[in-house]
Amino acid sequence: MNALAATNRNFRLASRLLGLDSKLEKSLLIPFREIKVECTIPKDDGTIASFVGFRVQHDNARGPMKGGIRYHPEVEPDEVNALAQLMTWKTAVANIPYGGAKGGIGCDPSKLSISELERLTRVFTQKIHDLIGIHTDVPAPDMGTGPQTMAWILDEYSKFHGYSPAVVTGKPIDLGGSLGRDAATGRGVMFGTEALLNEHGKSISGQRFVIQGFGNVGSWAAKLISEQGGKIVAVSDISGAIKNKDGIDIESLLNYTKEHRGVKGFDGAHPIDANSILVEDCDILIPAALGGVINRENANEIKAKFIIEAANHPTDPDADEILSKKGVVILPDIYANSGGVTVSYFEWVQNIQGFMWEEEKVNDELKTYMNRGFKDMKEMCKTHSCDLRMGAFTLGVNRVARATVLRGWGA
C-alpha cells in the first residue's frame, strides 16, 4: 500500500471512530489547492533546462498551511498529497495553528551547481509567491533543500511583498532562523520516547536502541538519547550498517560521519548487513529514514518492544496488524516526528513578534508541547479504545473537523 492509500485508510478509520458524516469526511480529504508550474532556467553552460515545480495545499481550517519543499528527481504526486495531508493531522496533533502542505521540484540537486539551484529556487518562488505567505502557506526545508534554499525563497518573496522573514521557516540564524531548529525533530523524538517509556514505568537510561537512518533526525536522536543514558547498539545509513552490543560511542561516530560522510568503516563497531538493521535485537527501534521499511516481510522478525516512527510512514498497515498482535507498541509518525514543525512554529512566532528566544526557551517549550501532545493522544486512545496511531489520527482529525464546522465550511 502506498503512502497516500495508507494515509487515506487511517483517516477513514479515524473518521468512523469519530462518527463524522460523509460530506464532512469528503471535504476534509480533498486538497484546498494543487499547484503545478514550469520552472525554466539557463544552466551554467548556456543551455536551457525546464523543471516541474509543485505545491499541494491540503487544509487551512486551523491556520496557514505548513510543509516542506523537496528537491528530488522522483517527485511522486501521490506521495506529496499524502505528506500534505499528514501535515494537516500532524499540526493538529501538536496543537499548533497550522494546516498541511507539501511541495517541491522534480530535479536532482546533486547534478546542479549552487548558482543553478539558486536560479531554480528563485524562478519557482516567482511562480508561487502569490500563493504562499505569512498567513497563507509557510514553506520549510525537506529532502534536498536546506537553510540556504529558504534564504533564497525569503529574498525572492521579499522583492514582491517587502521583507517577510516569517514566510519560510528553517532559515539560517542570521536571517531570523530559530536556535534549536536543527535539532528539533530529533529532540522531539527523544521527548516522545521519554513520554512513552514513562507511561510503561521505564526510562531511556539503560534501554537498547537501534536507529535506521543517521541523517539530521537519526543523528540528533542518537546523540540526545545517548546523553540520557540510552545505549545505541546499531545504526545504519546510506553507506552501510554497524553494530556494537555494548553500545556505540555516538560522539565519536558523529565526528567520524562528518569526515567520512557515512557510518561505514567506523572502528568502534563491526559492520552488519544493512537489510538486517530493523530485526536486530533491541528494546526500542527508531526508523528515521524512508517510508514503508517495516512491512509484512519483516514485521514478524522484529524483536523491539517499542517502535518510534521518526520517519514519515515507515510502517505499512499490514505490518501494523502483525506488530499489534505481537504486543509491539508503535509511537506514530504524526506525533513522534512533530518536533520539527513545532519549532518551525516557534520560529514563525519569533519572526512575527520580531523577538528571538534563547535556545533553552525553545527546548523547554518543545518539551511542553510534546508532553501535552502525548497526554492528549492517550486521552483519545481511552475514549475510543484504540492504539496510539488511531489515538493520534482521531485527535488530529477531530481538531480539524471541529475548526471546519465552526468556520461554517462543513456543508
Active site residue 102: yes
What DSSP letter does each residue of 103-169 carry, written as one string? EEEES-GGGS-HHHHHHHHHHHHHHHTTT-BTTTEEEEE-TT--HHHHHHHHHHHHHHHS--GGGSS
Q: Are 31 and 87 in contact (CB under 8 A)?
A: no
159 Cα distance to chain centroid: 30
Residue 186 corresponds to which cell in the numbers above? 530529533
Give buried/exposed letters for 372-395 (b at 16+ CB in 10 A, else e): ebbebbbebbeebebebbbbbbbb
Report, in angstroms and rounded to the nearest whole number, the Rg of the chain calculated over CA atoms.
21
Q: Tell me phi and psi for residue 69, to 5 degrees.
A: -120, 120
Q: Are 243 and 263 in contact (CB under 8 A)?
A: no
In Å, the largest CA–CA distance within the chain is 64
Known binding residue 36? Answer is no
Known binding residue 111? Answer is no
Q: Are 174 and 148 in contact (CB under 8 A)?
A: no
The 3-state DSSP composition of the chain as helix, strand, coil percent (nearest 5) reads 50, 20, 35
Q: How far apart are CA 70 and CA 81, in angstroms?
A: 13
Please give the C-alpha separations between residue 246 and each of 114, 230, 233, 269, 379, in angstroms, as whole numbers. 42, 11, 7, 9, 37
Known binding residue 326? Answer is no
Q: Which amino acid does the sequence have at 184?
A: A
Known binding residue 90? Answer is yes
3-state secondary structure of 404: helix
Number of Cβ within a 10 Å radius of residue 223 = 18
3-state secondary structure of 361: helix
Known binding residue 149? Answer is no
Residue 355 corresponds to which cell in the numbers above? 523577538
User: Catalytic: which of 26, 102, 361, 367?
Assistant: 102
Q: Tell me phi and psi for residue 334, to 5 degrees.
A: -70, -15
Which active-site residues does the annotation give? 102
Binding-site residues for NAD(+) sit at: 185, 216
Binding-site residues for substrate sit at: 66, 90, 344
Binding-site residues sit at: 66, 90, 185, 216, 344
